[in-house]
Amino acid sequence: MSSRRWRVQPAATPLRGAFDLPGDKSIGHRALIFSALAKGTSTLRNLSGGDDNLRTRAALAAMGVAMRDEGAALVVDGVGLDGLKRPSHDLDCGNSGTTMRLLAGVLAAQDFSSRMVGDASLSKRPMGRITRPLRGRGARIEGTLDGVRRDEVAPLEILALDGGKRLFELEYELPVASAQVKSCLLLSGLWADGVTALREPHVTRDHTERMMSSLGVPLRTMGSAVMLDPAGWDGVLAPLDLDVPGDPSSAAFLVVAAHMVAGSRIAARRVCTNPTRTGFLEVLRDMGGGALVDPKGERGGEPVGNLQVGIGNTGTLRSAARVGGELAVRCIDEIPALVAAAAVAPGESVFDDVGELRVKESDRIAALVEMVRAFGLDADAQGDTLTVRGGRPRGGAVVRSHGDHRIAMAAAVLGLAAGGETLIDDVACVDTSFPGFAAILRGLGATLDVVET
Write out the binding residues for ligand S3P, residues 85-104 only, by CB under 6 A.
98
CB 250 within 8 A of CB 432: no
Write out the binding residues for ligand S3P, residues 331-390 only, by CB under 6 A.
332-333, 356
Query: How far apart are the C-alpha atoms of 60 and 130, rounded to whole Å?
Result: 20
CB closer to ligand S3P out of 5 and 299 = 299
352 as an active site residue: the answer is no
CB closer to ligand S3P out of 5 and 206 = 206
Q: Which amino acid is at 55?
A: R
Kindly determine how many residues on this chain lie close enough to bind ligand S3P according to the rule CB under 6 A: 10
Smallest separation, CB 74 to ligand S3P (Å)? 18
String marking each residue 193-232 x if it binds ligand S3P according to CB under 6 A: ------------x---------------------------
Q: Which stretch binds ligand S3P (CB under 6 A): 177-185, 292-300, 388-396, 439-447?
A: 177-185
CB closer to ligand S3P out of 354 and 418 = 354
Q: Which stretch binds ligand S3P (CB under 6 A): 84-92, 163-171, 173-181, 225-233?
A: 173-181
Smallest separation, CB 427 to ligand S3P (Å)? 18
CB closer to ligand S3P out of 4 and 125 = 125
Query: How far apart are the C-alpha atoms of 37 and 83, rounded to whole Å?
Result: 8
Among 11, 23, 26, 277, binds ligand S3P (CB under 6 A): 26
Q: What is the CA angle 233-76-122, rounded to 5?
A: 90
CA distances from 130 to 9, 334, 360 (A): 43, 24, 15
Handedness of CA 236, 241, 245, 250 (dihedral sign): positive
Is there binding between residue 179 and ligand S3P (CB under 6 A)? yes
CB closer to ligand S3P out of 15 and 203 = 203
Smallest separation, CB 446 to ligand S3P (Å)? 25
Is there binding between residue 178 and ligand S3P (CB under 6 A)? yes
Smallest separation, CB 141 to ligand S3P (Å)? 17
Q: How many CB atoms lie within 10 A of CB 138?
A: 19
Query: How far apart are the C-alpha atoms of 19 and 57, rounded to whole Å?
Result: 26
Is there binding between residue 266 and ligand S3P (CB under 6 A)? no
Among 51, 52, 247, 333, the active-site one is 333
Smallest separation, CB 380 to ligand S3P (Å)? 23
Catalytic residue positions, numbered = 333
Can you give the binding site for ligand S3P, defined by CB under 6 A? 26, 98, 178-180, 183, 205, 332-333, 356
